[in-house]
């Protein structure tokens, strides 16, 4: 791969598309974004609100940032309607005044709001319709968090994009990703082409990680890890990643740079690699290359899995982080491929049962399995093809994980939603 090649430019663009800032958990923020846009199109404060959402959205919309600890789908929509700035997309409610928070609570108490579960065969889907008198405005988001595919007002379609099932139209082709090329890219990329997005990712995500260790958030998994297992390099890397999720899932309003639509994945793919690299005494450029590797491997895995599924995305990012750490420790293609295959063989099947405090523990498990995967390689004790989902090579294994998550766990996702809502 050379700078200026089609694939080189695509990899740079993929990083720019995926590593974007978000204030709070991305599903409630996406809902707030849709609601803010609908209110903008309506041109007046709604008297009635209808929210239609797929099961995976309902499962993941919990804490809403900058709302004084409001929770749930109706709260997310109210936040977007009252205080949202649609042009800021996933930072739609990054700037909220105390007066606006008061108005959110009043809006929830005074406005007719309805939630309906929809199933159009699309995992990621939300439709927000707002009404004022005889007028209405409708906004639909599908397949990824900022993908507005329909804007309608009073029967007139103002904006429409085709939706072809789960296909993410409008984004750079993710099929160009493969492990060999990802490694080549990480080794040779002109750091100037990626440093802005990577440095922002590390800065934001390490900041929320530190907040998680200093504060009291959720189950405090990061602090528990340090208190229980000490200050070894591996444990500190795990703890820093977990602490970021502790804070993010439990009310911290610091921004996060996401990966594949998830702040937890963005934290997991970056923070443990950065921490491991700094403890090893690696220079900034080397750490940026390692984080690049981790980010792209995470994206590669998530391409087949999908944005939302019953398969915990933090696991994919933990595997990506393990590969980045393996590279820092001197691994080439063979070692990184073995790390990935060993890790997914251990932890694939970890479920996503919504965005909440236990995500931090799953992150720690994912990072640990990633690092263990490389240590297995060093000992020449690898899982072989035919051992469960392990394929003939690393790309085959990644495809198997995608099939497991996107197809095999559909019923699991339905059961999880049923358990959570009944």
Alpha-carbon gap, residue 245 to 252, rounded angstroms: 10
Report the C-alpha gap between 147 and 334 in whole angstroms. Answer: 37
3-state SS, residue 89: helix
Per-residue confidence (pLDDT) for residue 376, from 0 to 100: 96
404 contact partners, CB below 8 Å, separation of at least 6? 311, 348, 349, 389
Helix (H, G, I), strand (E, B), or coil: what is residue 309? coil
**Angle at the Cα of 50 from the Cα atoms of 45 and 53, rounded to 5 degrees:** 130
- Give residues with Cβ within 8 angstroms of 218, minimum separation 6: 246, 249, 250, 356, 357, 360
In this structure, what are the phi and psi dihedrals at residue 388, rounded to the nearest 5 degrees? 65, -125
- Looking up tokens 């390692």 gives 290
Which single residue is written with the structure tokens 């005889």?
Answer: 134
Q: How far is it, in rounded angstroms, from Cα 398 to Cα 389?
A: 9
Distance CA 67, CA 365 (A): 31
Q: To 10 degrees, the CA torsion angle through 105, 83, 354, 202?
A: -140
Pair type for strands 112-117 and 48-53: parallel
pLDDT of residue 4: 83
Three-class SS state of 178: coil
Give the C-alpha separation, 322 to 340, whole Å. Answer: 8
* Cα separation, 72 vs 198, whole angstroms: 31
Torsion over CA of 185, 186, 190 and 195, rounded to 10 degrees? Answer: 130
Angle at which helices 359-378 and 333-347 cross, to 10°: 130
The per-residue pLDDT for 357 is 86
DSSP 196: H
**3.30.1330, 2.60.40, 1.10.10, 3.30.70: CATH of 23-160:** 3.30.1330
- Helices within 94-165 (DSSP H only): 98-110
Domain limits, the chain: 23-160, 177-421
Nearest to residue 269, comparing CAs of 246, 302, 235? 302
Q: How many CB atoms lie within 10 A of CB 36?
A: 26
Tell me how far apart the 2 most distant CA atoms of the chain are, in Å: 70
pLDDT (tens digit, 0 to 9) for every residue of the chain, 422 residues total?
A: 888 899 999 999 999 999 998 877 888 899 999 999 999 999 999 999 999 999 888 887 877 878 887 888 999 999 999 999 999 998 999 889 999 999 999 999 999 999 999 988 888 999 999 999 999 999 999 988 889 999 999 999 999 998 877 777 778 999 999 999 999 999 999 999 999 999 999 999 999 999 999 999 989 999 999 999 999 999 999 999 999 999 988 878 888 999 998 899 999 999 999 999 999 999 999 999 999 999 999 999 999 988 888 888 888 999 999 999 999 999 999 999 999 999 999 988 888 887 788 999 999 999 999 999 999 999 999 999 988 899 999 999 999 999 998 888 888 888 887 887 76
In angstroms, the CA 404 to CA 395 distance is 14
How far is residue 258's CA from residue 144's CA, in Å, rounded to a whole number? Answer: 12
End-to-end CA distance of the chain: 52
In sequence order, the 6+-apart residues with CB closer than 8 A to the CB of 160 are: 149, 150, 151
pLDDT at res. 322: 97
> What distance in Å separates the CA atoms of residue 213 and residue 163, rounded to the nearest whole number?
42
What's the rounded Cα separation, in Å, for the pair 174 and 260?
A: 11
- Looking at residue 341, what is its pLDDT? 96
């Amino acid at each position: 791969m050379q700078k200026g090649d089609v694939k080189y430019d695509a990899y740079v663009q993929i990083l720019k598309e995926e590593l974007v800032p978000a204030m709070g958990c991305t599903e409630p923020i996406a809902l707030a974004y849709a609601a803010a846009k609908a209110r903008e199109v309506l041109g007046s404060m709604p008297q009635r609100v209808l929210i239609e959402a797929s099961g995976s959205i309902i499962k993941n919309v919990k804490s809403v940032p900058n709302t004084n600890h409001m929770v749930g789908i109706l709260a997310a929509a109210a936040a977007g309607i009252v205080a949202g700035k649609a042009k800021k997309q996933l930072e739609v409610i990054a700037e909220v005044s105390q007066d606006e928070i008061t108005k959110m609570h009043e809006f929830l108490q005074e406005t007719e709001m309805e939630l309906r579960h929809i199933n159009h065969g699309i995992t990621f889907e939300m439709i927000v319709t707002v009404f004022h008198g005889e007028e209405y405005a409708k906004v639909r988001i599908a397949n990824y968090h900022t993908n507005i595919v329909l804007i309608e007002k009073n029967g007139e379609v103002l904006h429409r994009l085709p939706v072809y099932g789960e296909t993410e139209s409008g984004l750079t082709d993710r099929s160009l990703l493969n492990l060999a090329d990802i490694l080549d890219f990480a080794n040779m990329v002109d750091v100037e082409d990626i440093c802005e997005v990577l440095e922002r990712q590390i800065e934001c995500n390490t900041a929320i990680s530190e907040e998680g260790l200093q504060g009291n958030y959720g189950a405090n998994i990061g602090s528990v890890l340090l208190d229980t297992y000490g200050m070894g390099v591996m444990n500190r890397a795990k703890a820093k990643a977990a602490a970021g999720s502790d804070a993010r899932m439990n009310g911290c309003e610091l921004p996060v740079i996401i990966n594949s639509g998830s702040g937890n994945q963005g934290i997991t793919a970056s923070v443990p690699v950065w921490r491991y690299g700094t403890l090893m005494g690696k220079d900034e450029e080397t750490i940026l290359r390692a984080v690049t590797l981790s980010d792209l491997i995470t994206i590669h895995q998530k391409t087949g899995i999908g944005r939302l599924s019953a398969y915990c995305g933090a696991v994919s990012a933990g595997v990506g982080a393990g590969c980045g750490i393996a590279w820092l420790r001197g691994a080439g293609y063979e070692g990184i491929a073995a790390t990935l295959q060993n890790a997914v063989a251990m932890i694939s099947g970890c479920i996503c049962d919504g965005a909440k405090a236990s995500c931090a523990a799953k992150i720690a498990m994912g990072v640990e399995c990633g690092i263990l995967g490389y240590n297995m390689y060093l000992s020449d004790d690898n899982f072989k093809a035919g051992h469960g989902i392990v394929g003939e090579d690393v790309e085959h294994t990644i495809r198997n994980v995608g099939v497991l998550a996107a197809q095999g766990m559909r019923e699991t996702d339905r059961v999880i939603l049923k358990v959570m809502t009944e």
